[in-house]
Amino acid sequence: MPNIKSAIKRVKTNASANVQNAHNKSTMRTAVKKAETASLNNEENAKDLILSAIKQVDKAASKGLLHKNTAARKKAQLMKKA
């Protein structure tokens, strides 16, 4: 543990940001997996799941969890399966 006050604060801030980033990334991955399985099984709610997955990918990209090109690639793959 650091001795300097600002460094202590950074450790705490980084820990809380890490938890939030992990949650957001996990939510995005789950949405993408649900959309992919729904499109493979030709379910009636596949379009809605794909749109929500695209929204999650955009959200992750805007927060810096994904590179913008990675987000664009994931969205294109989802739309291709739709």
pLDDT tens-digit map of 31-46 = 999 999 999 998 889 9
**Cα(2)–Cα(13) distance, rounded to whole angstroms?**
14
| Structure tokens given for 42 | 């030709």
**Cα(26)–Cα(44) distance, rounded to whole angstroms?**
24
Q: Collect the ranges in the chain with pLDDT lower than 70.
A: none
**Cα(60)–Cα(66) distance, rounded to whole angstroms?**
6
pLDDT at 21: 96
Query: What pTM was computed for the model?
Result: 0.84
Domains of the chain in start order, with CATH, are 5-81 (1.20.58.110)
**Cα(49)–Cα(79) distance, rounded to whole angstroms?**
11
pLDDT at 29: 97
**Cα(57)–Cα(74) distance, rounded to whole angstroms?**
8
